[in-house]
Amino acid sequence: LLYDAGGNLVSSSETRGSDSEIIRFSGFAAGTYYVKVQGNAGAVNNYTLDWDRSNYAPKPDSNDAAGKSNDTLQTATNLNKFIGGLEASIHSDTDVDFFKLALDGVGTAKNYAKISFAGVEGDLDLFLYDEAGALLASSASRTGNSEYISLNNMEAGIYYLKVSGNNGALNTYALEWDR
């Protein structure tokens, strides 16, 4: 049985009739976890506990390089320097990524922002804010491998996108947009 730091059961492995049990950590936020080994129906036996000690958390991306950060509206990465897409990561449970996007005219049906990621590795969410920081739209589905926000009918101006991990999830993602 696997418990989080608060003592809540978060995963288990109950393969009866097998010589091994496995718990996969895919999609868990960084933190402290506790393993409890117990015999089925009071069974007693010897066991060996092995674990992979590798750190599989995504590495900070170039937007979070030493001395840089895009964790606030004021430090948002300017997307007007890029053409259509970039790769990034949510690499810690406190990391968020902000991106500044300028619409040159009223948004059309073809204008959008989208993140793509491997949902099984950790669920990410996408938010759209106006220049003053007011939330305008969000895409926070709990299933799938992408989040999408239409920019249709948005007035010309400055907007901000925010990418964050759902409940501390970590993951890499591809951000694409058409403005």
Q: How far is CA 14 from CA 2, 10, 22, in A?
A: 12, 14, 9
pLDDT tens digit sequence for 11-38: 888 676 677 888 876 667 667 888 888 8
Quick one: DSSP state of residue 169?
A: -
Amino acid at 88: A
Question: Which pLDDT score, from 0 to 100, does residue 26 have?
Answer: 64
Question: Which pLDDT score, from 0 to 100, does residue 2 have?
Answer: 85
Which pTM value belongs to this model? 0.69
Low-confidence residues in the chain, pLDDT < 50: none
